[in-house]
Structure 1
Amino acid sequence: MCLGAARQIHAIRTILQNDSGRQSTVGESLGESETCLATTTSVAYPRPVWVAVIVLLIVQAGLLAYAATRHSPTLNEPGHLVAGMRHWQFGQFELYRVNPPLSHMVAALPLLATDVKTDWNDFNDAPGARPVFNIGEDFITANGERSIWLFTLARWAGIPFSLLGGYFCFRWGSELYGNAAGLLALVLWCFSPNILAHAELVTPDMAATSLGITVSYAFWRWLKSPTWWGAVVAGLLLGLAELTKFTWVILFGLWPLLWVFWKLTHRRSDDSRQRWLPQGLQLMMQLVLAVYVINLGYGFEGSFTKLGDFKFVSALLQGTDGKESDSMNRFADTQWKNVPVPFPKDYVLGMDVQKRDFEDFASPSYLRGTFQQRGWWYYYVYAAAIKIPLGTWALIVLALVNSILARRRDDGSRFADTFVLLAPAVVVFVLVSSQTGFSHHFRYVLPCFPFLFVWVSQVANVFGRWSWKSGLVTAAVLWSVASSLWTYPHNLSYFNELAGGPMGGPAHLINSNVDWGQDLLHLKSWLKAHPDAKPLHLAYYGYYDPADLGLEYTAIPRKRPVDDNKQSSSEQFALKPGWYAVSVNYVRGYPWRAPQGAYADFQNFTPIAKAGYSIYIYKIDGDNTHAVE
């Protein structure tokens, strides 16, 4: 894999060296890259460049397609899939309302042609209810081992989202900095461990990430050449992005600000003052069109419900600071109660439930071996330091140096391009970091990645000729790609060398950062190769019942919390000799269907094997006792 990636990058370098004269003037130092910023409204892509783009996207599609067959359903995937099935079968959107329906429906689409079994007995639509996980578990039980194939089909259906995101990383990078940069942005996208990890899953993270960069590119193109047609395209894409994840609701406020900023930085243009009004109307049309697409995506179900008729569960919208409220709506007795809300009912309630989760999440947060009930404001900064390849970090540092040097000769327009590029990523990162109700998932900032890749791609301008600078950039790219592929297909558990790799990562982060229940199939393969590993005792973090895969096991006795009224800490017993498989989240003490620390004593043992990087395997002999309460 690593050799193939090296050959691919070498081929790209050759293509770009031959094409650099036609595309742009390539800077001879990191500080001269601004000379090759695209100045035209369109970029001509030579045939070799298109070939490179297609090859890279095909390679990524292959990586994703294979990885999708190697992992058991993660914790959230069953819920997303059954939500999509319910959308198609009943036209209802309340089941997983904390996420808009687009990615759910795409994932469930191929299942409509199968005889998939569904079980809706646990459905409950009480305010704030989250029955989707029980229904997802029922779905797996109803379909048994065949559900693995159903999840594979659903995962494959989502691969085009990743290809879309990669393509627009290339487009934006090439139009800002030249073809070399566009291809570098695409390489970073195609081989990023975090992109590969989530692009294979039935979750909305990749759809939101891909459509985020796509719609932002369309908006940037509209800013550079404002036309009514461009406004229509941007508005439609904004609506689609809003149907992937609530993250992009920020664009309704950010776009007007970016437009004003753009106009002010380009106020010296001849017709700038004369075009404020028509451009303002185009911008307004984009936002209105996006709202229409959102309503269309929900089938206009509950659209324009009066504000006072909602029953909210978050303290913010109840206005009760978490206390009981009869009305469950802070607007019920105000002059705003009769105002119709121009969004679907479940869209509004979904944001409310999501806000409630951030306000008071039941499970504790974990960082560097420490649990606490709330999160950390610096959690995502820390996670980025150890979840992003060090080679990519080297490119980030080079891009930062390059930007500082280039800024000295910037006339303002190039700064505006960079500002519009990075603003969505910065706002998302700051907004997510500010939600400190809990800190569990680095994937929440995944939508920032493509913007980072495009910005970093400016360092590709040193590819024009061999020098120590181009050698440094090449080494960083190869390091980044090799580090990612070294962990493949277990990219969900990826940690860089600074954290000690996937085995050292759980000392820093857990949850979906390393263990999301994805390695049950690898455990089955390991047991097949080791038929003597019996009896098997298992503590698995996931909704999939291992028995549905034909695994024979018994549950591991777990540590019970000490009751102050009934002290039982002295009541000890030893684990029976045998084989033990324990999910990493449990090894680190995470409480899920078990008390906190129920299996944490396994940290005192060294695993003799592992399934993927999220299930550790231990052998307990007769002389090795393991005290638990």
Structure 2
Amino acid sequence: MARKSRAPQRSEVVPPSDGREPPEASEHQTGPEGPPRDVRRFFWIGLAVVALLGQHLGLAERSLLTENPTVDEVVHMPAGLTYWDQHTFRLYHHNPPLVKMVAALPVWLAGPVLAPLYQRKSWSERDPSQANFAHDFAYVNADRYFELFDLARMVMPLFSIIGGLVVFAWSCRLYGAGGGLLSLALWVFCPNILAHGRLVTSDVGSTAFGAGATYLFWRYLRDPRWGRASLAGVALGLAQLTKFSMLLLYLVWPFLWLIRLVVAPAVETWSLRIGRGVVHGAWVVALSILTIDAGYMFEGVGRPLGSFEFASGSLTKPPPGGLRTAPPTRNQLYAWIWPFAQNRFRGTFLENLPAPLPEHYLLGFDEQKIEADGIPLRFIQAWNALNAGDRSGALALAGSSDRSVAGYSVYLNGVLRGSGWWYYYLAALAYKVPEGSCLLLLTSIALLFVARRSRESWVDEITLWTVPTAILLAMSVLTDINLGLRYILAVFPYLYIQAGKLVPFVESLAGRSRSFGRTGLIACVGLTALSSFAIHPDYLAYFNHVSGGPDRMPARLIDSNLDWGQDLVGLRRWCRENIPDEPIGLAYFGQINPGIFTLRGDGFDWFLPPIRPGHVDRMDPASPARLLGPARELKPGWFAVSASLVYGLGWRLYDPTPFLNEAWSPSWNAKDDPFGYFRLFEPVERIGHSILIYKLTAGDVARAAQLLKP
């Protein structure tokens, strides 16, 4: 009787010594009866992938319908509409356009009101204001504002689906189908991916496209061909169209190529490999630039480098004499910097060089770089001196050696301050990654030091660890932006991929050890899934139990980690059901005027709570709008305060004036812990973990009196 052949399993295939892709397993091996064995196997694997991604999509779509747009979404989507409608990227070039355009397309097709907006200053001025444009958009589309955003948000999970496919494909190639499914399950049930995968922001889009591009480049490195280099180049360009942080790939990819060149075995000569790598590398870069240009519809490509008005330290230098007549601008950021800095290419041989990149890509990078570096305090002080008529003092201040900067207020573990912590993002990972995932990730790291592996395998492991290491180092050391886990969301695909190695390791064990290992893997994935189901639909507010959960006081983290303005509609629903005839004091961390409910025919009786004296300014003192302003004294009653404001964050606040068209944008600039007195009280309810509800008594009012004294 003939012996039946056995199809080799993926985990048993050893790559050839030249580092090329291993041959595919035969698709024609048959079992005792029925269809080919590999066909049945692929069917069940495919079904599992579809089921996991379907579960992820269902959780994301259902949860997004319960919340309103967050702080950044309010601005992103209307800007994306102008890209389709006006064919220019001048509004909010702070981020590349791809994600905004994908989100805005179904909204644009739904026909929102846009024509009146192009007649307003928020669009027509030299430096259009994305925030004011977004508020104008909300005002003229109030009757279906939330519904339009639902359309935009419903397409966003497509990016996390793409990310899940990348995670599965990469892990599957390294660790077999079992490893791929484990990695995919960690991605699918990750509360942080579910949180940001629903939002009209660039974080998950850049995470997915960045990992996808690097996966294609990894496959190119294993088998260098022109076709694979071309795919990697286009993918690299698409990643750049999602977020400026993806520029890091231009530094990481040459390092990965060098590691493979030195470490991985090969039969070809060094000169051949280096020459091919240089030529292919130039092709990859050229294709990526062409893709970026096409993504911006070639707007402003070829504009002379010296003609730009840059402001970041990387792209500017002191002007001759230390001071110049700056172009007029209503953007306060540029007003502070431009008199004391000018385009560093101006006056050099590069001044007339045509820029190979779109103008709004370069201007957006410049603006983003200012945010990452912070605004030099010496420029702000010099600008104040210049406005006071002290030219010599302004020159002295601008040229001082003081390199301190003004940036965002940042918060960690009950402490709010003006500069960050080097360990902030490590702490954020410890607080916001589910316990089950943490156990698997830590075990996979330990496995690196105990399992024997080939040189080729070590190159693959280095590839998976290089990108997350570079991201963590860049965000922790090179910037002072400690605002949220979303800034390092791009580390998750690589962490979850390398966790897949646990499956072949467990399967290599024997007897009870294998059974125990399988049980452990299933238990950890189940624990992660349970964490996701338990916090549903409030994924932004997820914290693991070890950290104290989302309702810990004081909160571990705030801002986009907990409270990003997502629960205003939830608050309105709670008020309708619980206190329909009572006013409520509202201090809201978000970019939606609570008066929008009144415009929609749902009268909302709210007022601004008292703000600590000296901790609030009028946003535009010259505005003729008649404002009610914050309440002058604290009285017993109901209050709703966003967690970020409870813990001291300053913010722009809306006025409850009935003259909505005169005070639709934020009217008050609250700063320096304006509502800190609410920390004296215990909330009686929480809306989505992000808005705290208080019922203050006369005794509570008396307790807070000292903090509200002038």
Same fold (TM over 0.5): yes
Q: Secondary structure at the match of 1:580?
A: strand
Per the TM alignment, residue 98 of structure 1 is displaced from its structure 2 partner at its CA by 1.5
Q: Secondary structure at the match of 1:579?
A: strand
Q: Which structure 2 residues correspond to residues 214-225 of structure 1 after superposition, within 5 A? A: 214-225=212-223
1:380 corresponds to 2:425: yes
CA contact (8 A) 1:232 1:286 kept: yes
Indicate how the Cα distance of structure 1 residues 21 and 602 shifts in structure 2: closer, same or farther if over 3 A, else same.
farther
How many positions carry a matched residue from both structures? 590
Match of 1:476 in 2: 524
Match of 1:298 in 2: 296
Indicate how the Cα distance of structure 1 residues 327 and 431 shifts in structure 2: closer, same or farther if over 3 A, else same.
closer
Q: Aligned to 2:492, which of 443, 449, 458?
A: 449
CA contact (8 A) 1:579 1:617 kept: yes
Deviations 1:167-216 (CA, angstroms, capped at 9, x unpaired): 11000001001111100111111110110000000111111011111111
Q: Secondary structure at the match of 2:141?
A: helix
Per the TM alignment, residue 326 of structure 1 is displaced from its structure 2 partner at its CA by 6.0
Q: Aligned to 1:615, which of 686, 691, 699?
A: 691
Per the TM alignment, residue 402 of structure 1 is displaced from its structure 2 partner at its CA by 0.9
Q: Distance in 2 between matches of 1:436 and 1:506?
A: 26
Match of 1:526 in 2: 574
Match of 2:74 in 1: 78
Match of 1:577 in 2: 636
Match of 1:245 in 2: 243
Deviations 1:73-115 (CA, angstroms, capped at 9, x unpaired): 1001021101111111111112111110000100010012222
CA contact (8 A) 2:636 2:697 kept: yes
Q: Distance in 2 between matches of 1:506 and 1:244?
A: 34
Match of 1:15 in 2: none
Per the TM alignment, residue 592 of structure 1 is displaced from its structure 2 partner at its CA by 0.5
1:64 corresponds to 2:140: no
Indicate how the Cα distance of structure 1 residues 500 and 577 shifts in structure 2: closer, same or farther if over 3 A, else same.
same
Per the TM alignment, residue 377 of structure 1 is displaced from its structure 2 partner at its CA by 1.9
- For structure 2, the 5+ residue unaligned runs are 1-5, 14-18, 26-37, 323-335, 376-405, 617-630, 653-669
Q: Distance in 2 between matches of 1:124 and 1:319?
A: 30
Match of 1:105 in 2: 101
Indicate how the Cα distance of structure 1 residues 605 and 260 shifts in structure 2: closer, same or farther if over 3 A, else same.
same
Deviations 1:45-65 (CA, angstroms, capped at 9, x unpaired): 621110000011111111111
Q: Distance in 2 between matches of 1:574 and 1:308?
A: 55
Q: Which structure 2 residues correspond to residues 15-414 of structure 1 after superposition, within 5 A? A: 23-24=9-10, 40-42=22-24, 46-118=42-114, 119-120=117-118, 121-123=120-122, 131-270=129-268, 273-320=271-318, 325=339, 328-358=342-372, 359-360=374-375, 361-406=406-451, 409-414=452-457
Equivalent AA in structure 2 for residue 554 of structure 1: F
Q: Secondary structure at the match of 2:500?
A: helix
Q: Distance in 1 between matches of 2:681 and 2:307?
A: 56
Q: Distance in 2 between matches of 1:92 and 1:418?
A: 42
Match of 2:402 in 1: none
Equivalent AA in structure 1 for residue 358 of structure 2: P
Per the TM alignment, residue 38 of structure 1 is displaced from its structure 2 partner at its CA by 12
Q: Distance in 2 between matches of 1:39 and 1:108?
A: 40
Equivalent AA in structure 2 for residue 261 of structure 1: I
Indicate how the Cα distance of structure 1 residues 457 and 574 shifts in structure 2: closer, same or farther if over 3 A, else same.
same
Q: Compare CA radii of gyration and give the structure with the larger one.
A: 2
CA contact (8 A) 2:311 2:337 kept: no
1:606 corresponds to 2:682: yes
Indicate how the Cα distance of structure 1 residues 554 and 573 shifts in structure 2: closer, same or farther if over 3 A, else same.
closer
Deviations 1:298-318 (CA, angstroms, capped at 9, x unpaired): 111111222221111113322
Per the TM alignment, residue 339 of structure 1 is displaced from its structure 2 partner at its CA by 2.7
Match of 1:33 in 2: none
CA contact (8 A) 1:462 1:470 kept: no
Q: Aligned to 2:673, which of 597, 611, 624?
A: 597
Per the TM alignment, residue 24 of structure 1 is displaced from its structure 2 partner at its CA by 4.5
- For structure 1, the 5+ residue unaligned runs are 1-19, 28-36, 564-571
Q: Distance in 2 between matches of 1:474 and 1:410?
A: 25
Q: Distance in 2 between matches of 1:603 and 1:41?
A: 63
Q: Secondary structure at the match of 1:395?
A: helix
1:553 corresponds to 2:606: yes
Q: Distance in 2 between matches of 1:38 and 1:401?
A: 28
Q: Distance in 2 between matches of 1:591 and 1:562?
A: 9
Q: Secondary structure at the match of 1:57?
A: helix
Q: Secondary structure at the match of 1:380?
A: helix
Q: Distance in 1 between matches of 2:432 and 2:648?
A: 21
Indicate how the Cα distance of structure 1 residues 274 and 498 shifts in structure 2: closer, same or farther if over 3 A, else same.
same
Indicate how the Cα distance of structure 1 residues 541 and 145 shifts in structure 2: closer, same or farther if over 3 A, else same.
farther
CA contact (8 A) 2:639 2:694 kept: yes
When structure 1 is superposed on structure 2, of 445-454 and 328-337 the one drifting more is: 328-337
CA contact (8 A) 1:536 1:554 kept: yes
Q: Distance in 2 between matches of 1:143 and 1:25?
A: 55
Q: Aligned to 1:421, which of 457, 464, 481?
A: 464
TM-score, normalised to structure 1, is 0.89
Deviations 1:398-428 (CA, angstroms, capped at 9, x unpaired): 001111112xx32311010111222122212
Higher relative contact order (CA 8 A, sep 6+): 1
CA contact (8 A) 2:615 2:673 kept: no
CA contact (8 A) 1:494 1:514 kept: yes
